[in-house]
Amino acid sequence: MSDLISKKDTTATVGGGYSLHSKTDERKKAVRKNLLDLFRRRPLPDEHLLTNMGLYIRSSALAKIFFLDEMYRKILDIPGKIMIFGLWWGQDAIVMENLRAMHEPYNHARRLVGFDTFEGYPESSIGDADKRSDIIKGGGYAVSEDYCDYLNALAQYHEDENAMYNIKKMTFVKGDVTETVPRYFAENPETIVALAYFDLALYEPTKVCLEQVLKNCVKGSVIVFDELGDADYPGETAALKELAQLNQVQVRRSQILPDRSYWVI
């Protein structure tokens, strides 16, 4: 991966005080530091900033949004929910809600469910099939305290702003996905999965969630992988290999972000 955006492509210190792994060279880091400085001393008032974010979003970050749109367009005629496994700060979920408002504003049945611990990886979830690193460790990808409450408030704003605001369409489930995801499907037997986005990076959580998803897909459902074939995050690939014969399914790469893959059931 070159300059394409991912969680790994940043040097910001977050959550529990660790720095995320970066594949960006020193020159590019310096350039991005300049952007951060320009952002901090921006002359725009905040209310104008919210409608002019394109001034500061990098092309690589913009590509991630286009990628989510690429995936969303594949399910416009597929019934069911959008499920995101691994939220981090929750941007993917918020973007997906706004894509719903753009592409199918009156499809009130299109619900989004996001799963995360909001406390980082449980130490027990990292196994032999995973590759430990500065971020693949207990507490990796932790966010701020009480962030789930903040994300819920942010999600409510976007729902209030969009069509069909009177019907709640976003739900965030906090906890270890190996426990919360099977319980969610058991408690919501009507669930059909239109799109599942796997951004867990680890073997066991990915396997548990993928097992549940595959039992609740229809022909045409889309399963998206964030780290498939990535040597730094082998657990996701190991989980897929156990649950599917790779030569029997057609996994494609994104046309926007070539290191992202998807499987249309």
Q: Is residue 56 part of a domain?
A: no
Mean pLDDT of 156-171: 95
Q: To 10 degrees, the CA torsion angle through 140, 144, 149, 152?
A: -70
Mean pLDDT of 18-33: 73
Terminal Cα distance for the chain, rounded: 26
Mean pLDDT of 203-210: 98
Residue range 49-105, pLDDT digits in tens? 999 999 999 999 999 999 999 999 999 999 999 999 999 999 999 999 999 999 999
Question: Could you tell me the pTM of the whole model?
Answer: 0.89
Q: Is residue 258 part of a domain?
A: yes
Q: Distance from CA of residue 65 to its chain's centroid?
A: 11
Q: Is residue 7 part of a domain?
A: no
Residue range 168-196, pLDDT digits in tens? 999 999 999 999 999 999 999 999 999 99
Could you tell me which residues come within 8 angstroms of residue 114 by beta carbon, excluding any fewer than 6 positions away? Answer: 83, 84, 87, 90, 92, 93, 170, 171, 172, 173
Separation CA 107–CA 205 (nearest Å):
30
Separation CA 238–CA 242 (nearest Å):
6
Question: Please, what is the average pLDDT of the chain?
Answer: 91
Q: Is residue 52 part of a domain?
A: no
Strand-pair category, 251-253 with 217-225: unpaired
Q: Is residue 54 part of a domain?
A: no
Q: Is residue 33 part of a domain?
A: no
CATH at 219: 3.40.50.150
Q: Is residue 146 part of a domain?
A: yes
* Percentages of the chain per state (helix, strand, coil), in multiples of 5: 40, 15, 45
More confident residue, 130 or 12: 130
CA angle at 168 for the pair 167 and 172, rounded to the nearest 5°: 170
* Domain hosting residue 206, numbered range: 61-264
- What's the domain count of the chain? 1
The model's confidence at residue 23, banded by pLDDT at 50, 70 and 90, is low
| Contact predicate 208/175, CB 8 Å | no
Separation CA 219–CA 161 (nearest Å):
32
pLDDT at 7 over 60: no
Q: Is residue 160 part of a domain?
A: yes
More confident residue, 22 or 24: 24
Could you tell me which residues come within 8 angstroms of residue 68 by beta carbon, excluding any fewer than 6 positions away? Answer: 92, 95, 96, 99
Give the containing element (helix H, strand E) for 223. Answer: strand 217-225
Q: Residue 12's pLDDT is what?
A: 43
Residue range 128-153, pLDDT digits in tens? 999 999 999 999 999 999 999 999 99
pLDDT at 2 over 90: no
pLDDT at 8 over 80: no
